[in-house]
Amino acid sequence: MMFCPKCGTILMPKGGKLACVKCGYTAGGDVTIKEQVKHTSRDVHVVEKETEALPLVDAKCKKCGHTKAYHWELQTRSADEPATRFYKCEQCKYTWREYK
């Protein structure tokens, strides 16, 4: 990757040379462009079960009474107030929040 010595813009290939698209500067010498092709997989992967990447804590669900829930915190109000705690029941997936 080369940059224009006049304006600092990235030089792009144009007519076998590197040229600046902003100010028109052209670098001397011939340019060889190598393309890298990334092979992407066209396989379709089916996910049968939703997995949570959140910590599991002891919290009683208000809907089904289960005692385990996933937990995370978000700053939903101003920075000088504490974060809001969210819980999601492991069993019934009910989500509730706690302000403290």
Place of tokens 């929040």: 97
- Closest of 84, 90, 94 to residue 55, by C-alpha: 90
Residue 80 annotated among the catalytic residues of the structure: yes
Which one of the listed residues 52, 73, 81, 98 is annotated catalytic? 81
Which one of the listed residues 48, 50, 58, 80 is annotated catalytic? 80
Residue 97 pairs in a beta bridge with: 86
Q: What is the secondary structure of 24-59 as a DSSP string?
A: --B-SS-------PPP---------S----S-EEE-
Q: Do 62 and 70 touch, CB atoms closer than 8 A?
A: no
Instruction: Tell me the catalytic residues.
Output: 80-81
